[in-house]
Amino acid sequence: MDKSLEKRLHNILNEILPLRNTADEVFIFPHVGADGDALGSGLSLAAALNTLNIKALVLADEEPISSLEFLPRQDLLRVFAPDELEHYIKRINIAIAVDCHQSERMEMRGELFERAPIKIIMDHHVHDGDLGELALMNTEASSTSELVFDFIEALERETGEELFNQDLATLIVTGLVTDTGRFSFPTTTARAFEQMACLKHFKPDTTRIYYELYERITLPQALVRGEVLSRIKCSSEQGVIVSSVSREILRKAGAVDGDLETLPSEMRMVEGVKVAFLLRETAVPGEVRVNIRSNDCFDSAAFALRYNGGGHVRAAGMTLYNTSLEAAEELILSEAAKTLEQCPDKVSGEKSDN
């Protein structure tokens, strides 16, 4: 860790450690739509502070998404309701932002964060300017969990207490695995691997973590996936792949729209495919929602924009009106194939759409 980070880490220790054995309270703010890194870092930090007899809770905008329901120490998680603002303002002594550094990323809790007497930041996202002496910001870190690991290690050194245990290991491993794309992204640091080696000592159940994060699906999800994959159509060059789902298919599978979320990416995995489209009827007659995922040679956002949609280079969406699934499929297949013909070899942008 470089000198200025080391100094900031100590500034933060000096704010937090005097709270030991007092009634003062720390609230930890993950970003809205908390992912494995935001919740993993937040809950592990809260757990470590509580072991030191510092009152700390994670305050989130919503319940954890289903793939994160398995996370331990959710006894330290509270879901914020707007009418509780005054209640929390009276209680809060220190606010810690994790995996974000702006109150805009905290939605309903933004005002509470802004009004906290002391604000601390632990984050690895790119930021403008200096965020102050209490900001543990490191854009080189592959996750916030990586920063929180170092912070908890410093807490151990400073207090002589043992803080790491199996729960903390599970939480931090979840954060590391999430933000490194299972240790595949080029941003993965050597430090992340070192921390994994260290956490292994506390026996996190990595099989369970991977199952919960990447494998577990419900029966309706499996059924609807089968329907989607069996309905795949390809352009003649196989660069464009399309599938569609009617309300009837969803109903028979017992699935909801959210159950389709990972399928466009799965379709994109097919060898030779440049762009995948998943079409689905919405509840409104004649309306077809289109989700797009592309590889290196197709600008999804530009394509979606032609139909008043939007998104990113590799992940976008749009809605078609006054059409049928069949007509929409035909249109998309031919238009996308045409677009692909005019494509340069590559478009810029990250491969990941996370």
CA distance 230 to 168: 42
Name the segment binding Mn ion (CB under 5 A); options: 178-186, 199-207, 217-225, 282-290. Answer: 178-186
- Residue showing the smallest CB distance to Mn ion in the complex: 37
Residue 156 token pair: 């151990």
Give the interface segment with Mn ion, choosing from 79-87, 92-100, 208-216, 296-304 (CB under 5 A). 92-100
Tell me whether residue 93 or residue 144 sits nearer to Mn ion (CB atom).
Answer: 144
> Which one, 52 or 147, has the nearer CB to Mn ion?
147
**β pairing state of 55-60 and 288-294:** unpaired
Stretch that binds Mn ion, among 137-145, 263-271, 330-338, 341-349 (CB under 5 A): 137-145
Site map for Mn ion, 50-89, x if CB under 5 A? ----------------------------------------
Q: How near is the Cβ of 343 to Mn ion at its closest, in Å?
A: 32
Distance separating alpha carbons of residues 265 and 294, to the nearest angstrom = 8
Interface size with Mn ion, residues (CB under 5 A): 5
Question: Residues 300, 293: contact at Cβ < 8 Å?
Answer: yes
Q: Edge-to-edge strands of the sheet including 118-123? A: 77-79, 55-60, 25-30, 92-98, 118-123, 135-137
Task: Identify which of 175, 208, 167, 213 has the alpha carbon closest to the alpha carbon of residue 191.
Answer: 175
Judged by CB under 5 A, the residue of 99, 146, 150, 212 near Mn ion is: 99
Q: Residue 91: helix, strand or coil by DSSP?
A: helix
d(CA 196, CA 194): 5
Pick from 49, 27, 9: which is nearest to 118 by CA?
27
Q: Which segment (129-137, 138-146, 226-234, 281-289) binds Mn ion by CB under 5 A? A: 138-146
Q: How far is the CB of 37 from Mn ion (least distance, A)?
A: 3
Which residues partner with 26 through β-bridges?
56, 94
* Pair 59, 28: CB distance under 8 Å: yes
- 146 binding Mn ion? (CB under 5 A): no
Q: Between residue 218 and residue 247, which ones bind Mn ion under the rule CB under 5 A?
A: none
Residue closer to Mn ion, measured from CB, 99 or 281? 99
Alpha-carbon gap, residue 286 to 323, rounded angstroms: 5
Site string for Mn ion, 34-53 (x = CB under 5 A): ---x----------------
Q: Is 294 helix (H, G, I), strand (E, B) or coil?
A: strand
Q: Measured from the CB of residue 199, what is the shortest distance to Mn ion in angstroms?
A: 17
Of 317, 306, 307, give the one whose Cα is nearest residue 264. 317
**Would you say 55 or 105 has its CB closer to Mn ion?**
105
Which lies closer to Mn ion via its Cβ, residue 33 or residue 82? 33
Contact 221/227 with Cβ under 8 angstroms? no
- Nearer to Mn ion by Cβ, of 127 and 233: the residue is 127
Give, as ranges, the residues between 18 and 37 that touch Mn ion (CB under 5 A): 37
Among 179, 212, 259, 299, binds Mn ion (CB under 5 A): 179
Residue 173's φ and ψ, nearest 5 degrees, are -60, -40
- Is residue 223 within 8 A of residue 254, CB to CB? The reply is yes
Q: How far is the CB of 54 from Mn ion (least distance, A)?
A: 24
Question: Which window, 61-69, 139-147, 237-245, 256-264, contacts Mn ion (CB under 5 A)?
Answer: 139-147
* Interface contacts to Mn ion, rule CB under 5 A: 37, 99, 143-144, 179
